[in-house]
């Protein structure tokens, strides 16, 4: 089971703690990723690897910050600097039980951007091993 989704629409405004919806599916074996909500639902219990890359909007002179969430808990943060079209990436391996959720959400700090350009950012996940 694996998925990759990319951001094909530009975000011109994101709220603090708003889920970033990667709206275009590249692959979605197992149908765990929902492109309408931006949330991956773990179809089976096991260890998964998740990766995300976020790119900041050019000309904003503001940072772009986000976090990878697992069932309401922050796992890692992502950061792209004030220089437009800079990217921030993370790769994590975590255990998920069947039905648990993983997603990326925007975090708004002082001087942060709420904009993301289309066509550069991705969110992926893959099952590494199933619980026995």
Contact criterion met (CB below 8 Å) for 113 and 56 = yes
pLDDT digits 0-9 by tens, 16-67: 899 999 999 999 999 999 999 999 999 999 999 999 999 988 766 778 889 9
Residue holding tokens 């350009």?
A: 117
Answer left, alpha or beta for residue 43, where phi above 0 means left and psi between -120 and 50 means alpha: alpha
Q: Which of 36, 12, 39 has the alpha carbon at shortest distance from 23? A: 36
Residue 54's pLDDT is: 93
How many whole angstroms separate alpha carbon 23 and alpha carbon 25? 7
How many whole angstroms separate alpha carbon 88 and alpha carbon 94? 20
pLDDT at 15 over 90: no
pTM of the predicted model, to two decimals?
Answer: 0.92
pLDDT digits 0-9 by tens, 90-121: 999 999 999 999 999 999 876 677 788 899 99
Residue 112's pLDDT is: 73
Residue 87's pLDDT is: 87
Tokens of 8: 């094909």
Q: Which of 25, 26, 37, 8 has the alpha carbon at shortest distance from 104? A: 37
Tokens of 67: 């976090």
Helix (H, G, I), strand (E, B) or coil at 64: strand
pLDDT digits 0-9 by tens, 61-83: 778 889 999 999 999 999 888 67
pLDDT at 84 over 70: no
pLDDT digits 0-9 by tens, 4-14: 999 999 988 88
């Amino acid at each position: 089971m694996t998925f990759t989704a990319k951001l094909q629409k530009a975000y011109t405004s994101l709220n603090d703690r708003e889920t970033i919806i990667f709206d275009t599916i590249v692959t979605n074996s197992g149908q765990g990723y929902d492109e309408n909500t931006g949330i991956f639902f773990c179809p089976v219990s096991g260890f998964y690897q998740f990766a995300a890359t976020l790119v900041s909007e050019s000309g904003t002179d503001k940072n772009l910050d986000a976090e990878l969430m697992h069932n309401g808990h922050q796992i890692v943060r992502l950061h792209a600097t004030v220089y437009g079209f800079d990217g921030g990436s993370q790769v994590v391996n975590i255990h998920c039980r069947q039905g648990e959720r993983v997603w990326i959400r925007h975090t708004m700090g002082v001087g942060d951007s709420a904009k993301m350009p289309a066509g550069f950012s991705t969110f992926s996940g893959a099952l590494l091993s199933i619980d026995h």
